[in-house]
Structure 1
Amino acid sequence: MQTLSLKIATSAAAICFSTLVFAQQKYSVSGTVKDKKNGELLLGVTVKVAEDPTISVVANEYGFYSLSLPKGTYNLIISNPGFKDFQQSVTVENDIKQDLELSQEGREERDEKTTKIDEVVISGVKKDKNLSSAQMGTETLSIKNIEKLPVLFGEKDVMKTIQLLPGIKSNGEGSSGFSVRGGATDQNLILLDEAAVYNASHLLGFFSTFNSDALKDASIIKGNSPAQYGGRLSSVLDVKMKDGNNKDYNVNGGIGLISSRLSVEGPIQKEKSSFIVSGRRTYADLFLKATDDFKDSKLYFYDLNLKANYQINENNRLYLSGYFGRDVLGLGDTFSTDWGNTTATLRWNSIINSKLFSNTSFIYSNYNYNVALSSNNNTFGLDSKIEDWNLKQDFSWFAGNKHSIKFGLQSIYHTITPSSASGTSVSSFPRNPRYSWENALYINDDFKATEKLTINYGARLSMFSVLGGDTFNTYQNGVLTDSEFLEKGKFGKTYINLEPRITANYRINEVSSVKGGYSRNTQNLHLLSNSGSGNPTDQWIGSSYTVKPEIADQVSVGYSRNFNNNNYELNAEIYYKSMQNQIDYKNGAQISFDTAADVESELLFGKGRAYGLELIAKKKSGKLTGWISYTLSKTERKINGINDNEWYNARQDKTHDLSVVATYQLNPKWSFSGLFLYSTGNAVTFPTGKYELNGQTIFQYSSRNADRMPAYHRMDLSATYEPSSNKRFKGSWSFGIYNVYGRENAYTITFEDNPDKPGTTRAMQTSLFRWVPNITYNFKF
């Protein structure tokens, strides 16, 4: 009897278990998300299950998504800012591939349907990504919105736009350089289609290298970056180029007062391959040729973006993209300088299965500059270069509805040629290139722990090896202590660092959430600059026997709240960042170009700290949109041998930074934009005394960066007129004025003997722009 009962119980348990297993069996719904109009893959799209809103996934940076669902019929809600939200019905009986297409707002009729999918446009989907994402300190920029903002010379510019966000500070008037949460300019990783851009400015910073006509997406991450990013302490600016329209041919461009641009895109093989070519050039030099004094001068830049893609089959696609840009400045035969970037990326996307996505990238990046001087039969030349060969292998694994895991590796071979001089006016000192090999392994998981708690955590293992081919000196407080020649191909010093990272978001209720995070970042490439805004001839060096990797540990806490059905948004974050192995020049450093001294002998090392409060309030819909951002912060360094070994202000320290940005859509034809900026002046070192030596005035200086430039503020206004147009041709006019009320902001302040009052000193302020009007005609067909 007991035996029979045991058999019955065992059989019942087996039936229940099999039923449970069957009930829990899940299948994959996966595919890619595209722009319906042009076939561009869309990144960051949210795909949510209407029947269970806790089940959702975000498409990766290549437009791939994957959900795990039991058998049944479901309604998928697909949403992305700037596109119409819609609901897609799917019946799940096994693994299915479901590609999705989104329509841009205002571009297609709501009742337009496709023959493949049952599309129902819905309203009221909440734009609450700021409340649900665990990622902190991240802003994604809409290229469409950038077009309407007033900027210098009328050029829409990603680099200028990010400087209007909290925690991101401009390095000066006209400069495209920026600092993030107390970091230096070189502590920002700037990527264009995964390739590093080492100098992202044109014309000494008045333009950036990014032609917005060629861009699809741009995002900035302030310190708390996921583990797939590495190599810089402060931020990641990740810029992606358009893939090119694979359905129709388009031409668009603009003609401005000093520059013009033109882009052409279209299918190579319809809906299977496409291309885009986008070029831009300034022509200020043409106006100079009309004058007698400057007819032999050169002053221009050009850049060219190229990209093509080919779909091998439904699971594999190839991309090839490139960027070429150059600046040329010259004054007859006496002076010339040019600098520029070259990047190339060959990328292979592969959907391995319904849950695993692979991206393999081969990347090339080059930045170099050349300077030439000639006078009285004397010549002088200076050049420098940094070149990278980079291999990346990334995987996206949608392990389940709760886990989106990314893992991979990266290997970069660096060649850095330091500033090398030649000529008759100075002693030539050619420099040997320095080689290094940088590797990294990473893993990162976006984990939906509960309905309210989301955690993004991971780690990056970075390795940097100094390779042979040069003599490496070791200095202690600027004093030579050792020297070693390392044969080419040999391994020298290797630095290994583990970089843990974690951020978490807790959804308090439907309208608010709190976030917190910690991250460690390391940096092995360093830019030596003696100016606050940066120059093309600033010198890159790698970690060596003397220069150690910079390390930053950042802790941040944030609060987000939305209002009025998510049409208004308020975000606040506080942060504290501790930095190791920070670099600065020692007092009286000899850094002129006509010396062959090892630049490492002029460096000192210490620590840094940065902390602050960031606030941003946004209005995201309606005729009037925009934001107000404010940053209260402090940035300091403490380096033995500087400022009596006490803490001193970093050059990029600004206590207050305020931006007000607004766009008003008056009617379908007219829109108006304006912005107001205010910031504390940069920290600088002014002389505290002077003395005469051999008839020359020598100024004396005391504390490093103890003084301030005057506060900076200005207002810009613009208007855009879009007349009625047909389906094939669209044109618009953009009018604007930079610095409306003519504020003479200080670019530099120098000191000299006052000829009117002998024995006294006067300060001389240089300002760049007072009023700068612009008119640009934009077209598309």
Structure 2
Amino acid sequence: MNKLLILGMLLLAGLSSVAQKRYTISGTVTDKATGESLIGATVGVKGTHEGTVTNEYGFFSISLPAASYTIYASYIGYARYAEKVVLDKDYKLKVTLAAEGNTLQEVVVSDKAKNEAVTSAQMGRENLNVKKLASLPVLFGEKDVMKIVQLLPGVKAAGEGSTGFYVRGGAADQNLVLLDEAIVYNPSHLLSFFSVFNSDAIKNLTLYKGNQPAQYGGRLSSVMDVKTNDGNDQSYHASGGIGLIAARLNAEGPIVKGKGSFLVSARRTYADAFLGLSGDSTVRNNRLYFYDLNAKLNYKITDKDRIYLSGYYGKDVLSFGDVLGIDWGNATATLRWNHVFSSKLFSNTSLIYSDYRYKVHVNTAGVNGNMLSSIKDWNFKEGLDYYLSSNNSLHFGFNSIHHTITPGIITASPAVSDTANSRTWENAVYVSDSWKATRRLNIDAGMRLSAFVVLGGDSRFYTLDDNRQIVDTLQFPSNHVFKTYVNFEPRISASYQLGNSSSIKAAYARNAQYLHLYSNFITSNPIDKWVATNNIIKPTVADQVSLGFFRNLKENTYETSVEAYYKAMHNVADYKDNAQILNSNEPIEPQLLFGQGRAYGIEFSVKKNEGRLTGWLSYTLSRTELRINGVNDNKWYPATQDRTHDLSIVGMYKLSKKWTLSADFVYYTGNAATFPSGKYEVDDQAIPYYTGRNEYRRPAYHRLDLGAILKLKERRRFSSELAFSIYNAYGRQNPYIITFETDPDDPTKTQALQTSLFRWVPSISYNFKF
């Protein structure tokens, strides 16, 4: 009886503990000086293991039993915040963090907790902050976050000076690039030598390498999510810079102090001004420039409601007199509403517009024609975060995108334009759960269900025979549902802590892609063609598994990691042999063949986050191969983006209060390429002979860049600096284009000619802020 009584008392005590009332502390974390929300700030409870991080809008929520607590908040580069709270009801907390006075922190600021690389379940994620990268040397002195992304493990530059990149074996179009949630289809300026992202306007950049959370979709390889600054809601400020080829200006300030703010950031190159100074009229009439504009407004309507309106517009112009002209550009707009339903439920509702278009004009040899193309999206998104407890949170929602694609249509006078817009409707619902199962085990699991609807209207659909020839053309009324594809896209990742400073992680993700980019060029080009999935071009699907070991050293000063991955791709396309793709009026479907792809590799990374010397070393050993029915005798062959070795070394050194030095070194194996193996003569004409697809290699690429920043003035209301850099410091002549022609001294031989773009490129720029 006594044993039963004791057992009963223990059971009642347990039930009382379970039934104990819990309350929720929720709120936001912002920068005290600017009012900017801080993404990924740590919020915890002193003396416990309870804690969380702020979401992408600075919101957090923690549920605790009734008691007295000390709540703290921390963010690298900011003074720690602490407040005592008596929790006997739901509590709202507005945390403002003050930046630390140590100027070295400008080099080491990071948007995450110091040990998040170890504790987080997420794999393949990289966080970048513009402040951290300000001192790195870049081409022509223009700070460019996409060039920095190319230095990360598992990421490869698409070519010399290019902003395009490949992630874990994926093609350039398999990267989803977002600017304030809007899709940017061509994130490059000046034939891909600069990106559309003005660093003065950027708050945060997050790259997911194939293991992205369930709210992201539509691409196989990666998501690059770029958030712009909200603008200072406390005081007015301006900053800018003048470089060798471009100038930029940024202005921000409060609309109503503490409640709303604005941001305007503009940039323009002036290479065309130098052309105008030429005494040669053929040079003076040429045009070469780009400009872009970022703008953002936000306003706090109530304590529970805040609205944001952001937009981007950019355009490039390239012309050679009246003979050839190319102009292209992006326009995006995002209207966003944040609403706090309760201390546990946060929502973000967005209406998004995106438009990318280009135009090519040719007037030569009696031909006067244009090539026009565009892709336009209307996108509605709803996302909700529900905080079940301090250890468990749900993220769920949906998005719906209507795509209108005008392919590259050639119109030549006096011919009449014959456009054929492609209209499709892409939808998805998703749910994911971030669960801290135990003190050591963290799990992120999610499911995305996507559906792609191919609509009628102007679109033409083709039936092909066994020889890839068109045998029938179909057309349907507007909004007629011609074809629907549905894909389940599960994702799961988990981390298990081996101790306070190390962990192992594993992940699996499936991604589906419905829009595809086809090009006739090795690197990204403004006249590349976007094509939607239809009855012949199927959705491309990838399954990726990854396994990693993570360890921090010397109190998180160093981060080390090793990640291995394998990715299987289905319905991958490549051109058939001797494909004719220059005439954009011809359907592209007969020129394509389909099959499988696989990418696998291992990534090593060492980062130093603190001290006078910071930076990282990353090395990737990988392979990317395709097996396409009808290509290379149906055998596996290297993809164009296949590279065996890829090495990046990045360093930044705080020499003194005035001088900061930096350098980066890059080495990678040359891309796979199809070169002629010989030649034969037909009617006295030399015809190149090819044996296999991508069986040769371009020469290896390597480069050293050097940079230095000199602080001129450092006052409370005004600061300025000079930035010096040398791109390709030892003058390596890396190949940009390789062509073949008959040796003029021996017609029986063929010689290879290499064209290089940049040898030594010194630059200087002046930057200011007040």
Asked whether 1:275 is paired with 2:262, we answer: yes
Q: Which residue among 251, 256, 259 is the counterpart of 2:243?
A: 256
Following the alignment from structure 1 to structure 2, what is the Cα–Cα distance between the partners of residues 87 and 76?
6
Judge which range, 75-84 or 548-557, deviates more. 75-84
Asked whether 1:527 is paired with 2:522, we answer: no
Shift of 1:14: 11
Q: Which residue among 204, 211, 220 is the counterpart of 2:198?
A: 211
Q: Which residue among 504, 508, 511 is the counterpart of 2:498?
A: 508
Q: TM-score, normalised by structure 1?
A: 0.94
Q: 1:40-92: CA deviations, max 9, x gaps?
A: 11111111212212x11111111110000111121223222332333332221
Shift of 1:697: 3.0
Following the alignment from structure 1 to structure 2, what is the Cα–Cα distance between the partners of residues 243 and 621?
27
- Determine if contact 1:78/1:88 at 8 Å carries over to the other structure: no
Shift of 1:484: 2.3
Q: 1:118-172: CA deviations, max 9, x gaps?
A: xxxxxxx971010100000001001101211101001111100010001000010
Q: Where do 1:102-117 residues align within 5 Å?
A: 102-106=97-101
Q: Where do 1:24-35 residues align within 5 Å?
A: 24-35=20-31
1:408 corresponds to: 397
SS at match of 1:73: strand
Q: Where do 1:193-592 residues align within 5 Å?
A: 193-291=180-278, 292=280, 293-424=282-413, 430-469=418-457, 470-475=459-464, 478-480=468-470, 482-592=472-582
Q: Which residue among 739, 762, 780 is the counterpart of 2:728?
A: 739
Following the alignment from structure 1 to structure 2, what is the Cα–Cα distance between the partners of residues 9 and 221?
54
Q: Which residue among 94, 97, 116 is the counterpart of 1:129?
A: 116
- Determine if contact 1:126/1:565 at 8 Å carries over to the other structure: no
SS at match of 2:99: coil
Following the alignment from structure 2 to structure 1, what is the Cα–Cα distance between the partners of residues 91 and 450?
38
Asked whether 1:776 is paired with 2:765, we answer: yes
Shift of 1:205: 1.1
The code of the aligned residue for 1:567 comes to: T
The code of the aligned residue for 2:710 comes to: Y
Following the alignment from structure 1 to structure 2, what is the Cα–Cα distance between the partners of residues 749 and 11?
83
1:640 corresponds to: 629
Shift of 1:644: 0.6
1:52 corresponds to: 48
SS at match of 2:593: strand
Shift of 1:471: 2.3
Q: Against the structure 1 CA distance between its residues 268 and 747, is the aligned structure 2 distance closer, same or farther, given a 3 Å change threshold?
A: same
Give the total of aligned pairs.
758
Asked whether 1:98 is paired with 2:88, we answer: no
Following the alignment from structure 1 to structure 2, what is the Cα–Cα distance between the partners of residues 329 and 9?
86
- Determine if contact 2:424/2:453 at 8 Å carries over to the other structure: yes
Following the alignment from structure 1 to structure 2, what is the Cα–Cα distance between the partners of residues 386 and 348?
26
The code of the aligned residue for 1:375 comes to: T
Following the alignment from structure 1 to structure 2, what is the Cα–Cα distance between the partners of residues 333 and 391?
42
Shift of 1:16: 5.4
- Determine if contact 1:245/1:265 at 8 Å carries over to the other structure: yes
Shift of 1:453: 0.1
Shift of 1:741: 0.4
Q: 1:395-429: CA deviations, max 9, x gaps?
A: 0111111211100000000000111011138x656
1:727 corresponds to: 716
Q: Which residue among 623, 648, 669 is the counterpart of 2:658?
A: 669
Following the alignment from structure 1 to structure 2, what is the Cα–Cα distance between the partners of residues 485 and 108?
64
Q: Against the structure 1 CA distance between its residues 618 and 108, is the aligned structure 2 distance closer, same or farther, given a 3 Å change threshold?
A: closer
The code of the aligned residue for 1:619 comes to: K
- Determine if contact 1:146/1:157 at 8 Å carries over to the other structure: no
1:86 corresponds to: 81
Q: Against the structure 1 CA distance between its residues 582 and 17, is the aligned structure 2 distance closer, same or farther, given a 3 Å change threshold?
A: closer
Shift of 1:15: 7.7
SS at match of 1:44: coil
The code of the aligned residue for 2:432 comes to: N
2:109 corresponds to: none
Q: 1:6-28: CA deviations, max 9, x gaps?
A: xx999989985884456x21000
Following the alignment from structure 1 to structure 2, what is the Cα–Cα distance between the partners of residues 274 and 699?
62
Following the alignment from structure 1 to structure 2, what is the Cα–Cα distance between the partners of residues 454 and 597?
52
Following the alignment from structure 1 to structure 2, what is the Cα–Cα distance between the partners of residues 476 and 181?
35
Following the alignment from structure 1 to structure 2, what is the Cα–Cα distance between the partners of residues 696 and 314?
77
Following the alignment from structure 1 to structure 2, what is the Cα–Cα distance between the partners of residues 529 and 63?
40
The code of the aligned residue for 2:656 comes to: N
Following the alignment from structure 2 to structure 1, what is the Cα–Cα distance between the partners of residues 475 and 763?
56
The code of the aligned residue for 1:468 comes to: G
SS at match of 2:200: helix
- Determine if contact 2:665/2:705 at 8 Å carries over to the other structure: yes
- The Cα RMSD (Å) is 2.0
2:747 corresponds to: 758
- Determine if contact 1:248/1:266 at 8 Å carries over to the other structure: yes
Structure 1 unmatched ranges of 5 or more:
111-124
Q: TM-score, normalised by structure 2?
A: 0.96
Structure 2 unmatched ranges of 5 or more:
106-111
The share of aligned pairs that are identical, in percent, is 52
SS at match of 1:205: coil
Judge which range, 696-705 or 487-496, deviates more. 696-705
The code of the aligned residue for 1:246 comes to: D
The code of the aligned residue for 1:305 comes to: N
Following the alignment from structure 1 to structure 2, what is the Cα–Cα distance between the partners of residues 10 and 696?
98
The code of the aligned residue for 1:697 comes to: A
Asked whether 1:606 is paired with 2:595, we answer: yes
Judge which range, 72-81 or 349-358, deviates more. 72-81
